[in-house]
Amino acid sequence: MTAQEHLVGGWTPYHKLTPKDQEVFKEALEGFVGVGYTPEEVSTQVVNGTNYRYKSKATLPGSPGSWQAIVEIYAPINGDPHITQIHRI
C-alpha cells in the first residue's frame, strides 16, 4: 500500500504533499494572520470527508526563530476545509 492509498479510519504515514494537499492547506489558512505556517509533510485520514495533519514550519513575522507545529485541518465532502487545531511539537 502506498502513502496515497487511504484506509477508512486509519492515518496514512507522513508523506510529501500532493497538489491537492497543498490546495487544502492554502484554502484552510486563507486569511489566517499571525504565525506563518509552511507545510512540509502530511498525514491523512478518510472519515466523512478527510482529516489532515500537516507537519509544518512555524515562523513569527519579524522573529528570526522558527519551530515545528502540527496544523490539523478537516475537509468535509461538501464545503470548505478549515483548521481544527494547531499545536507546537
Span 35-74, pLDDT tens digits: 999 999 999 999 899 999 999 999 998 888 899 999 999 9
Q: Is 77 helix (H, G, I), strand (E, B) or coil?
A: coil
pLDDT band at 87 (very low <50, low <70, confident <90, very high): very high
From the list 47, 46, 44, 40, the residue with the least C-alpha distance to 67 is 40
Please state, in angstroms and rounded to a whole number, the distance separating the CA atoms of residues 47 and 23: 19
Contact of 55 with 72, CB cutoff 8 Å: no
